[in-house]
Structure 1
Amino acid sequence: MVSETEGDASLSGLLCLENETLFKENEEPVDEEDCLQMLFDRETSFGFKKTEPSVFCNYLKYARLEAITWILKARAAFGFRSQTAYLSMLYFDRFLSRNSIDSEKTWAMQLLSVACLSLAAKMEEMEVPALSEFQIEGCNFDTKTIQRMELLVLNTLEWRMSLVTPFAFLHFFITEMCKSSPPDMKVIIHVILFTMKEINVMEHRPSVVAVAAILRALNQRLTRKALECRVNSVSFCGFLEIEDVFTCYNLMQKLELREFNMPETVNLPDLDDSSTSGAVCTKRRRLTK
């Protein structure tokens, strides 16, 4: 029988490899345009914005909302970065787009939440808690059970785990669009994380979510024309479709007004702005095929 420590360590050893970085010793950093192009290419390759959107039934909507609520609470408790939570939901939605879970198996949905957050943490965090610490109230999953679900997720997603999140784009877009008055970063993070509650994150390109969240933090009353002018001010903006950005921006507006009633500037001390570093240019533990 494998102990919890040995089991978790062996799985991590098999799956988590040091990511290649865009900066190498004694070399100049990669040009920003090349870095962005790489991100855009990765967006496309992972199939964001499918032509036929997934429609969740009422049961899945409720189970998904519970999963997000737990993931956000666990993120705060463990001190994970915001993109770890978003990445876990990318895994979650991508898994459900390929596999179904029966409505009576609520424990399976909870186990999926745990496995997705654990895998995302192994991708993004320097220190990952033992699997025994990833627990949901009312459930007590042992380490081997979580590991089996992790492997099911990995196989379902074909071991393609290095997905792009909106946080990888924030620094560039903020620099380009907010030269005179930078927006409140905590508001941007809040909008991105809580937008996950209403959308299948695999159906919206991370770059679009990033731009829409920045614009939402800057101005809550942009017309389509005003939004288009803002987007067109960005270098290399050709990859962005205005209609997609406007649709996402309007969704964020409705969510904020209906659910959170947030003013344009709020204090959210539990959301860290360190998560916006962009992340493709830093060393992290990664899962690779």
Structure 2
Amino acid sequence: MDNSKATFSPTRLLLCDESETSLYEKEVDLLSSMDEEYIKSLLDRERHDFSQISSGDWIKEARLDAIQYILNKRDLLGFTSQTAYLSVIYLDRFLSRRSIDEEKYWAVRLLSMACLSLAAKMEECTVPALPEFCVEEYSFESSVIQRMELLVLNTLEWKMGSLTPFAFTQFFLTKFCQSSLQRNAMSTIVEVILGSLKDVEIMCYRSSVIAASATLVALDPRLTRDALEHKISLLSSSDVLKIEDVVSCYYQILAFDTMKLNRGDIMSPDLSPNQLQIDEVLGSSSVTTAANAKRKRLIFNQNDNISPKKRQN
């Protein structure tokens, strides 16, 4: 086997504190060598992180707020898109396995801090001290965040390695787009993927499917079903990447109406929660409560003193 393929990790694409665009320029030669065989190897080991989250309205709102926190902190701390996406995977997997007492928004914010910290430890070269993950309205002791990190690790059974859409985007971009247009398209694809984090239905698809769909949406949001099927069928990996899944995800992204997919008019993922219409974002999400009874309840002892402390002005 070619040693370059044996040791290549797709997460390295977004590992340092440079922008995705500069990384794209430096890695273009390496990425161009990614062939169908290598992508198939990724598809074969891709783990489906399907997460069925509670249907309660408050947890939907709290999840949206947590994702906004992650995206904002990602910018402030200089993290990559890979780190932000991975932290949301942890968040959703945790919420699918444990329930949180109603209206405890601070617990979800603590959870989001722990997930972002763990993702940073997986992906970033340098990880800030835990107090830097706090924000003005929620300030937790480092020991409290560490305990939540351990709870997340135990809940996820220490299975923290997950492929994200960014492992596949360059491959699909080279297959679906002319080389002269690829550089400008990459930033749009990243925005589409990050914007899609907020839709729990989209997050139910495999990362490879999201990557293919987001790439096609960014390149042309007006493709017909026949055109989509034709483009996907040209991939020799289409026997692993189901055409129907990509078509469905493509239209799901288009239907996600908080993103304006007209050219040059994509809503930034950095908008504040007040600017997002929560009912529109998550109102169409079809989640059931069948798995709710199996979830472990997230409970802290009375003497844990885990509640956030308000910062004094």
Where on the TM-score scale, by shorter chain, does this alignment land: which range? Answer: 0.7 to 0.9
Match of 2:45 in 1: 42
Deviation at 1:184, TM superposition (A): 1.5
Q: Contact (CA 8 Å) 2:197, 2:203: kept in 1 or not? A: no
Match of 1:76 in 2: 75
Moved more, 177-186 or 62-71: 177-186
The yes-or-no answer on 1:121 pairing with 2:124 is: no
Please give the alpha-carbon distance, in whole angstroms, between the structure 1 residues aligned to 2:147 and 2:235: 45
Q: Contact (CA 8 Å) 1:87, 1:163: kept in 2 or not? A: yes
Change (3 A) 1:268 1:194: closer
SS at 1:184 equivalent:
helix
Match of 1:193 in 2: 194
SS at 1:237 equivalent:
helix
Which ranges of structure 2 fall in alignment gaps of 5 or more residues? 1-5, 10-30, 271-313
Which ranges of structure 1 fall in alignment gaps of 5 or more residues? 1-20, 272-289
Taking the TM superposition and a 5 Å limit, the aligned residue runs for 1:19-34 are 22-23=7-8, 32-34=35-37
- CA RMSD after TM alignment: 2.8
Please give the alpha-carbon distance, in whole angstroms, between the structure 2 residues aligned to 1:259 and 1:55: 22
Match of 1:223 in 2: 224
Match of 2:62 in 1: 63
Q: Percent identity of the aligned residues?
A: 48
Deviation at 1:235, TM superposition (A): 3.0
Please give the alpha-carbon distance, in whole angstroms, between the structure 1 residues aligned to 2:198 and 2:267: 18
Deviation at 1:179, TM superposition (A): 3.1
Q: Contact (CA 8 Å) 1:177, 1:233: kept in 2 or not? A: no
Q: Contact (CA 8 Å) 2:254, 2:261: kept in 1 or not? A: no
Deviation at 1:104, TM superposition (A): 2.9
Deviation at 1:67, TM superposition (A): 0.4
Taking the TM superposition and a 5 Å limit, the aligned residue runs for 1:1-289 are 22-23=7-8, 32-43=35-46, 46-49=47-50, 53-54=52-53, 56-179=55-178, 181-182=181-182, 184-199=185-200, 203-255=204-256, 258-265=257-264
TM-score (norm 2): 0.71
Please give the alpha-carbon distance, in whole angstroms, between the structure 2 residues aligned to 1:126 and 1:192: 23
Please give the alpha-carbon distance, in whole angstroms, between the structure 1 residues aligned to 2:126 and 2:77: 10
Deviation at 1:121, TM superposition (A): 0.5
Asked which structure has the greater RCO (Cα within 8 Å, sep 6+), the reply is 1
TM-score (norm 1): 0.76
